[in-house]
A and B are shown apart, each in its own frame.
Chain A
Amino acid sequence: SAVISQKPSRDICQRGTSLTIQCQVDSQVTMMFWYRQQPGQSLTLIATANQGSEATYESGFVIDKFPISRPNLTFSTLTVSNMSPEDSSIYLCSVERRGADTQYFGPGTRLTVL
């Protein structure tokens, strides 16, 4: 497994502002992912954070709204831009080492947009 931390753990933001969420892993990992979990729902993959290149976004998610950085093999950020109340969710990062076929999750960031 891996030790994964996320900052902030929760935040309350105003409509139209942006929030950057950080994900830090205690060791190098091949794959890092960002998920959204809307209230009472299952998880939806936003994108795969690729080290040294642009993230790969899933259908329905775009870079302008959810810019992602991954400067190295242990760190990634997700920005939720121009927020609206519909963005209120838990945002989770997960990691997977090559060949492990198991994703481990960070503690999540609980975002409320007013």
Chain B
Amino acid sequence: AQKVTQAQTEISVVEKEDVTLDCVYETRDTTYYLFWYKQPPSGELVFLIRRNSFDEQNEISGRYSWNFQKSTSSFNFTITASQVVDSAVYFCALIEDSNYQLIWGAGTKLIIKP
């Protein structure tokens, strides 16, 4: 069965520190998509990135970077030089090519202290 695990329930760091959010997934499909979403206190879910199973290239977008490793079934998210505005709950999710349904991790609450 598909599953997404975010083992870190809550992380608290001081502003400007780097922080990595872990995501481990399980699937039997060879074709699948992985996602990260950000949910600030306002409640809206903001799409950050999609990665398909055939593209293991790491991605960098400003202070955000993602490390996709099929060998360990992980899709980790790193924020460098964190800022208070990064404080949010971050969700990792998975869709298998054969199924439209998003499988969600439990989320990691990130607190950035000034």
User: CB-CB < 8 A to B43: which residues of A?
Assistant: 90, 107-108, 110
Give the contacting residue for A42; candidates B46, B52, B105; CB below 8 A.
Answer: B105
User: CB-CB < 8 A to B42: which residues of A?
Assistant: 107
Q: Which of under 10, 10 to 19, 20 to 34, or 35 or more describes the interface residues of B?
A: 20 to 34
CB distance from A5 to the nearest CB of B (A): 11
CB distance from B89 to the nearest CB of A (A): 9
Counting chain B CB atoms within 10 Å of each CB, the highest count among A94, A105, A107 belongs to A105
Interface residues of B (CB under 8 A from A): 33, 35, 37, 42-47, 50, 52, 91, 95, 100-102, 104-107
- A43 and B104 contact, Cβ closer than 8 Å, known pairs A101-B50, A102-B35: yes
Residues B106 and A102 in contact, CB atoms below 8 Å apart: no
